[in-house]
Amino acid sequence: MRSFAVLGLAVALLAGPAWAAPKPLFAPWIDGTAASEPQTQTQRYDRDTYVIRQSVKTNFEAPFLYLLFGKDRALLLDTGAGGLKIRPTVDAAIDQWLAEHHRTSIPLVVAHSHSHGDHRAGDMEFKDRPDTVVVGWTAPEVAAFFRIANWPQDIVTFDLGGRVLDVIPTPGHHPSHIMIFDERTRWLISGDTLYPGRLYIPDGALADYRASIDRVVAFTKARRVSHVMGAHIEMTREPGKDYRDLARTHPDEHVLELPYADLLALQAAIHAMGDAPKRDVHPDFIVFPLPPRPKP
């Protein structure tokens, strides 16, 4: 019996790393479970990449913002859900980057994954910021700024200076939605189209959503996406279990990053629905069609 036990332990030890969950990219995020927590949390992925989370205690959406630096300019994707001043946090990260690079300024572009209110509430804080451009909220304004001649079919590049981003139109969740593929990190920054949470598809938008997922998959399949980086966390670490709507605490929270395989799983799920969208629970996300809005 002892020999079988030793053999079993050896097999478990050898197999352990293959079954171990990937190491999270970040330290645990603020999740509302502490008696008090800061209004924002900034974590740095590398010298030129910052991720900012807004506290769920300031707004139940608790969105994530992305700040990416190139040599010539920086891009801030989203400005949060309101309930706080977001610019001081962004400026602190920019000041740190400038000091480390022995510079006094860098142009800033403020864009949005899409223009729902929880992603643009802080825009007014940047309107008078020097050397800053705030991109408009509508699909035509987004297309004009990024020079997307044929929205939503065209995918364009946006060069920050030695750091090229691919801007992918992805209407469906919202008409102005975009995803960004960053060649530096190989992240697919996916906004509200794919994240660990409830993927809301408005009534009548399934065809656009499906076409957008197909567009992203076709573009990224040869680009070795390292992680899919969304704008919220609404899932727990228990597969398929989300928090209740409007939850003010997120105990035992799912990690932010998703594997590329989840994008393929989402594509398969959306196609399997045909023209009849339905709630569909997956380990890392839930497809969540929205009912028609009541007529006024």
**CATH number, position 247:** 3.60.15.10
Residue 23 lies in a domain: no
Give the per-residue pLDDT at 63: 98
Residue 281 lies in a domain: yes
- pLDDT at 88 exceeding the cut of 50: yes
* Residue spans of beta strands (DSSP E) within 116-255: 132-134, 156-159, 164-169, 178-182, 187-191, 198-201, 227-230
Q: Mean pLDDT across the chain, nearest whole number?
A: 93
Average pLDDT over residues 105-131: 98
How many CA atoms lie less than 13 Å away from 57 in the CB half-sphere? 13
CA distance 186 to 104: 29
Average pLDDT over residues 4-22: 45
Residue 47 lies in a domain: yes
Residue 22 lies in a domain: no
CA distance 174 to 193: 9
Asked which of 170-184, 191-205, 282-296 is least confident by mean pLDDT, the reply is 282-296
Three-class SS of 155-188? CEEEECCCCEEEEEECCCCCCCCEEEEECCCCEE
Residue 89 lies in a domain: yes
pTM summary value: 0.92
Number of domains composing the chain: 1
Residue 16 lies in a domain: no
Give the per-residue pLDDT at 296: 64
Residue 15 lies in a domain: no
Give the per-residue pLDDT at 20: 61
Range of the domain at 283: 32-289
Give the per-residue pLDDT at 292: 84
Average pLDDT over residues 65-75: 99
**pLDDT band at residue 47 under the 50/70/90 scheme:** very high
Average pLDDT over residues 211-239: 98
Amino acid at 64: F
How many CA atoms lie less than 13 Å away from 109 in the CB half-sphere? 20
Residue 88 lies in a domain: yes
Asked if omega into 152 is within 30° of 0 (cis), the reply is yes
